[in-house]
Amino acid sequence: MSSRPVTISDFALWMGVEREIVSSLGARSLPDIWMDSRKITPGDLFLALPGEERDGHDYVVTALEQGACAAIVSSLEKIPGAFRDRVLLVHNPLEAVSAAARAYRRYLDIPCIGITGSNGKTTTARFLRTILEQNYRVGGTEGNWNNHIGLPLSILRLTGHEDLAVFELGANHGGEIFDLAEILEPDMGIITNIGYAHVGCFGGIEKTAAAKFELAEVLGLHQGVLYVNGDDSHSMEQMRHSAYAGLTMCTFGTSEAASLRAENVYCTSEGTYGFTYHGEDFHIPLPGRHFVYAMLPALALAESMGVDSDMVRSVLATLRPAPLRGEVRNTGQYTLVLDCYNANPSSMNAAFQMMHDMPAPSGRLVSISGDMAELGAYSDSLHRNCGAAAAEYGMEVIIHIGEFGAALCEGAMMAGMDQEVCHCFASKDAFITAAPQLLAPGDRILLKGSRASELETLIPFLTGEV
């Protein structure tokens, strides 16, 4: 259990509790808050959220019996009398906690950085935190808590000892980023790019761009600074057609139009990239050109906050790929590029480009892909576009497992690939059966798909472990 520089009484006041709490409870320091009763440890707070399938109020007694000091609830109906002196009654638990998170952020009064975009939020936040931690105590997003529930809880996890904090803002519908940014009230922001992730939920790429730039609207209210990908056409289009009063904007990228520019970009045989920034050389020991874009705003912010460039380089040297996010593994028979944590059109294109850029003496470029999720009515056309991108970046064999294989292969063939090297399968088992006729020693194989595709289950087969 962690404690914070405010009490449960302070927290209850911020939430607007509807009944008085006992003094012994109110005097406690604000502890960790969980919405999963299984994670409760003695002294924690339990957040009872109603849901479509489960109602958190059904687990209040369990959480209190496991040692929770109190539970945040909207009804006493399911709470036995013996436990009612250990509840914080509010009209809407999530709204109450969000209001308390905003109040706590104001109480701490430290610089906060908000990061959104279609791809690269977690990587950009990771780079930024790792670099800034050399000079500062840095807090931020807990795990993957970046949505309307996770962000308030992440803010409330700050201990009060941080010098600054870095938070991811995730969304799949319009209006959500605005609401999250209003809770966080960031001083600085980063929009990594605008792509087709969740485009089926947003309702189009223009609406996706408008949703991500809701961060700019809130930053403008606080005279904040926003870093935007200057090489991203959708971001630039949004900036051209919208006015954001009170906002300072900086662009980053590799083009001459970017004010924060990476120059002399090169790729190593491991797929890692190096570049020159403000006359100094940097190398990122992670495979993928997209890491250059994740690093640039981190470098700019680090520079503005006094982190020495030699220290930045020493930190970069320690970076390693997160599991399933660009790990390169040599099996003796194949070279595998394992990037199957997630997939959307932008990240697929980046992966194809990395495979193309990697210098190698021999071996075919092979793509094994799975369906990209949450594309809605755009699914066929965007899988078709990905097939075309695979062909344009020189992939020599395309293998797709899932519902949209025909569309992806069609796109590849329209871009000039032969039908004989384009293969689609309904299941992983079907691919495994055919694999001996499709793969050859020396192949460099990209494994890329959405989490729902579970392509990581193919790794033991491809490495010869089974």
Kindly list the domain boundaries of the chain, sorted by start residue: 8-93, 110-316, 327-463
The annotation places the binding site for ATP at 117-123
- Does the structure show a pLDDT above 70 at 101? yes
350 or 34, greater pLDDT: 34
Task: Give the Å distances, CA to CA, from 153 to 180, 214, 345, 349, 450.
Answer: 12, 21, 31, 34, 26
141 or 245, greater pLDDT: 141
Q: Quick one: three-class SS letters along 330-385?
A: ECCCCEEEECCCCCCHHHHHHHHHHHHHCCCCCCCEEEEEECCCCCHHHHHHHHHH
- Does the structure show a pLDDT above 80 at 197? no
Which tokens in the block code for residue 412?
């590849």
Q: What share of the chain is helix, strand, coil (3-state, %, to 5)?
A: 40, 20, 40
Fold of 110-316: UDP-N-acetylmuramoyl-L-alanine:D-glutamate ligase (3.40.1190)
Nearest to 136 by CA among 316, 307, 315, 312: 307
- Does the structure show a pLDDT above 90 at 200? no
1-5, 228-232, 437-441, 461-465: range with lowest mean pLDDT: 1-5
207, exposed or middle or buried, with CB in 10 Å at 0-12, 13-18, 19+? middle
Nearest to 12 by CA among 82, 71, 66: 71
**Banded model confidence at residue 361, pLDDT cuts 50, 70, 90:** low
**Banded model confidence at residue 35, pLDDT cuts 50, 70, 90:** very high
What is the rounded average pLDDT for all residues in the chain?
A: 93
pTM value surpassing 0.85: yes
**Banded model confidence at residue 133, pLDDT cuts 50, 70, 90:** very high
The annotation places the binding site at 117-123
Mean per-residue pLDDT for 188-198? 89
Predicted confidence at residue 170, as pLDDT, reads 93
Taking CA 456 as the corner, what is the angle to CA 371 and CA 375, rounded to the nearest 5 degrees?
20
- Does the structure show a pLDDT above 80 at 325? no
Are 185 and 218 within 8 A, CB to CB?
yes
* pLDDT tens profile 143-159: 989 999 999 999 999 99
CATH number listed for the domain at residues 327-463: 3.90.190.20
**Banded model confidence at residue 346, pLDDT cuts 50, 70, 90:** confident
Are 285 and 319 within 8 A, CB to CB?
yes
Fold of 8-93: 3.40.1390
Nearest to 370 by CA among 422, 405, 420: 405
Mean per-residue pLDDT for 296-315? 93
* pLDDT tens profile 428-463: 999 999 999 999 999 999 999 888 899 999 999 999
d(C-alpha 265, C-alpha 32), whole Å: 44
